[in-house]
Amino acid sequence: MYFASSIMKNTDVIIIGAGAAGLMAAYELSKAGKQVTILEARDRVGGRIHTLNDDMHTELGAEFIHGDLPVTLQLLHEAGMKAIPLPGEMWYYGDGKFSHGYQQMDDWALLLKKLAELEQDTNIGDFLQTEFGEERFADLRKSVVKFVTGYDTADPFKASAFALRKEWQSEEEDTQHRVVGGYGPMIDYLVKQIEKNGAEIYLSAIAKNIHWTHGRVEVITADQRSFKAAQLIIALPLGVLRADTGEKAAIQISPSIASYREAMQQIGFGSIVKILLQFKTAFWKDEAQTGVSLKDMIFILSNEEIPTWWSQHPEHSTLFTGWLGGLPAERKKNQTDEEFLQQALQSLANMFKLDTEALRSNLAAWHVANWTTDPFTLGSYAYDMVESVEARKILNTPIDHTIYFAGEYLYEGVAMGTVEAALTSGLETAYKIL
C-alpha cells in the first residue's frame, strides 16, 4: 500500500473507497487482468469493517453474518476462515425484570398477514397507524418501531413496508453467524490477493473532484494528486455521497449527473453508535445479582437509553456491547464519548441494579464507535424507502460505460445494509465492467 506521493497515475479502472464493495470489485477486476488503482481516504482499508487486533478481535463495525449469505460464506471459505452459527439466548429486560426470549409480540402473526396483503407500498409508520392504530395495538406499534429503529437503524416514517416485509419473511428461516477471528482477516485476504494481482491501493487519499467524459476520468484528491483511468467505480457510503460540499469527504462530479444525485436521496441511510465496554469481570453472569441465569445470554433488548446489548457468547469474554440505532442515535450524534459511556453505564446499572461507579471501576477499557459523525461514513447503513427500488435501478446503471457505483446500498437481495450486500454489489459492478 502507498501513502503520500504527488505522482500522476494512469490505469484501467480507479476505485474510490476500499470497503468491502470496492475491494471485492478490485479483486474480481484485477483477477481478470485489469490494471486497478484504489483510492482510500482513511489510513486503513475495510471501511465499516474495522476489527481491532486485540486478543478479542473486537469489531467496531460489522460483526455478524445475518443469515446463510452465499457471497460472504464463499469468500470466508476461500480465505480459509470459518463462520460459526450463533448459539445463545435472547433476553428482554422490562418492568424491572429479565425475561427469557423475545419481548411478547402477540400480534406479530397478524402484522405479517396484514403486510402480506398490502398491495401498495407505504412507510411502516403510516402502515401501523392505518392497520394497527387502535389502543389495543399500542404495544405492537411500539415493538415494531423499536425493531425498525434498532435493527434497521431507520426512521419508521421513511422505511418501506414492502422492504421490511421481505426482510421479516426471510428472517424466520435464517441462521445468524459470527466470523471466527473477526471480519478483519477477510479484508486482509482480499488486499493480499488484489496486490498479488498487481493492483495498487493508496491510503490517506481523499477523493474530492471527478472530471469525466466518455471513456476517460480524472480523480483529484484533497492533497491535489491526480489519477486517470478509462473507467471509475465510486464505492463510497451513501452518507458521503449525499454530504454537503463542505464535508471533508464530499465529492464533486463534473459534469454533474443530476438524476443520480436525486436517486441518492431516495434511499434511506440510518444512524448508529456502538459502545464497546470491556469489563474486568463478566458481572452479568452473576446470578446472585440478576436473579436469573444469564450465562448463556447473547442478546438483551430493553427500553433503556442504550437499549440493545450483547455478549460474545459462547466465547469466554468480558466484552459487553451496547447499540443505539436510528433517530435516537441521530439526535445524540454530537454527544461526547464520555456522555455515551455514562448513558451506557446508567442503562446497565438500571438493568442489573448496580451502581454506575461500581460498573465504571469494573471497566478495563471502552470505546465509542460513533459512525454517524465519522467523516468517511456519515451514518450506519442503507434501508429502503418507498422510492428506493426505482432509485437503485438508476444508480445501478453505468454512466456512459465510464462511471459505476458500488456499495451496500445498491444491493437487491434480502440482506440489506450488510457486508454481504457490499460484497455482492462490488462483484456485480466488476461483472458489468468485464
Ligand X SMILES: Cc1cc2nc3c(=O)[nH]c(=O)nc-3n(C[C@H](O)[C@H](O)[C@H](O)COP(=O)(O)OP(=O)(O)OC[C@H]3O[C@@H](n4cnc5c(N)ncnc54)[C@H](O)[C@@H]3O)c2cc1C
| Window contacting ligand X (CB under 6 A); options: 19-27, 118-126, 188-196, 309-317 | 19-27
- Asked if 179 is part of the footprint of ligand X (rule: CB under 6 A), the reply reads no
Shortest Cβ 235–ligand X spacing (Å): 5
Q: Among 144, 414, 421, 430, which residue interacts with ligand X (rule: CB under 6 A)?
A: 421
Pairing label, strands 403-405, 226-234: parallel
- Asked if 21 is part of the footprint of ligand X (rule: CB under 6 A), the reply reads yes
Q: Which one, 22 or 125, has the nearer CB to ligand X?
A: 22
Is residue 65 helix, strand or coil?
A: strand
Q: Among 26, 41, 148, 229, which residue interacts with ligand X (rule: CB under 6 A)?
A: 41
Give residue 350's Cα distance to chain centre.
29
Please name which of 345, 372, 370 lies closest in space to residue 359, comparing C-alpha atoms. Answer: 345
- Asked if 19 is part of the footprint of ligand X (rule: CB under 6 A), the reply reads yes
Q: Which one, 92 or 376, has the nearer CB to ligand X?
A: 376
- Asked if 236 is part of the footprint of ligand X (rule: CB under 6 A), the reply reads yes
Window 238-267: contact mask with ligand X (x via CB under 6 A) = --x--------x-x----------------
Q: Which one, 141 or 274, has the nearer CB to ligand X?
A: 274
DSSP string, 367-392: EEEETTT-TTT-SS-EEEBTTHHHHH
Shortest Cβ 336–ligand X spacing (Å): 18
Question: What residue has cell string 464505492?
Answer: 235
- Asked if 2 is part of the footprint of ligand X (rule: CB under 6 A), the reply reads no
Cis peptide bond prior to 255, omega within 30° of 0? yes
- The count of residues interacting with ligand X (CB under 6 A) is 43
Q: Which three cell numbers stand for residue 214?
A: 466518455
Q: Which three cell numbers stand for residue 11?
A: 490505469
- Asked if 376 is part of the footprint of ligand X (rule: CB under 6 A), the reply reads yes
Q: Which one, 301 or 421, has the nearer CB to ligand X?
A: 421
What 103-112 contacts at long range (C-beta under 8 Å, 24+ apart), as own/partner pairs, is 103/143, 103/301, 104/139, 105/139, 105/140, 105/143, 106/139, 106/140, 107/132, 107/137, 107/140, 108/140, 111/140, 111/144, 112/165, 112/168, 112/169
- Asked if 149 is part of the footprint of ligand X (rule: CB under 6 A), the reply reads no
Q: Among 111, 207, 297, 329, which residue interacts with ligand X (rule: CB under 6 A)?
A: 207
- Asked if 298 is part of the footprint of ligand X (rule: CB under 6 A), the reply reads no
Please name which of 278, 271, 345 lies closest in space to residue 306, comparing C-alpha atoms. Answer: 345
Cis peptide bond prior to 314, omega within 30° of 0? yes
Residue 219 to residue 254: CA distance in whole angstroms:
11
- Asked if 28 is part of the footprint of ligand X (rule: CB under 6 A), the reply reads no
Q: Which one, 419 or 430, has the nearer CB to ligand X?
A: 419
- Asked if 13 is part of the footprint of ligand X (rule: CB under 6 A), the reply reads no
| Window contacting ligand X (CB under 6 A); options: 1-9, 43-51, 121-129, 187-195 | 43-51
| Window contacting ligand X (CB under 6 A); options: 45-53, 131-139, 275-283, 289-297 | 45-53
3-state helix, strand, coil in the chain (%, to 5): 35, 25, 40
Burial of 371 from C-beta contacts in 10 A (0-12 / 13-18 / 19+): buried
- Asked if 16 is part of the footprint of ligand X (rule: CB under 6 A), the reply reads yes
Q: Which one, 67 or 156, has the nearer CB to ligand X?
A: 67
Q: Among 186, 194, 229, 235, which residue interacts with ligand X (rule: CB under 6 A)?
A: 235
- Asked if 325 is part of the footprint of ligand X (rule: CB under 6 A), the reply reads no
Q: Which three cell numbers stand for residue 372?
A: 454517524
Residue 47 to residue 238: CA distance in whole angstroms:
13
415 secondary structure, DSSP code = S
Q: Among 13, 14, 15, 22, which residue interacts with ligand X (rule: CB under 6 A)?
A: 22
| Window contacting ligand X (CB under 6 A); options: 135-143, 275-283, 302-310, 377-385 | 377-385
- Asked if 62 is part of the footprint of ligand X (rule: CB under 6 A), the reply reads yes
Residue 426 to residue 199: CA distance in whole angstroms:
16
- Asked if 407 is part of the footprint of ligand X (rule: CB under 6 A), the reply reads yes
Which residues here bind ligand X, judged by CB under 6 A?
16-22, 39-42, 47-49, 61-64, 66, 206-207, 235-237, 240, 249, 251, 272, 274, 369, 371, 376-377, 380-381, 407-408, 417-422
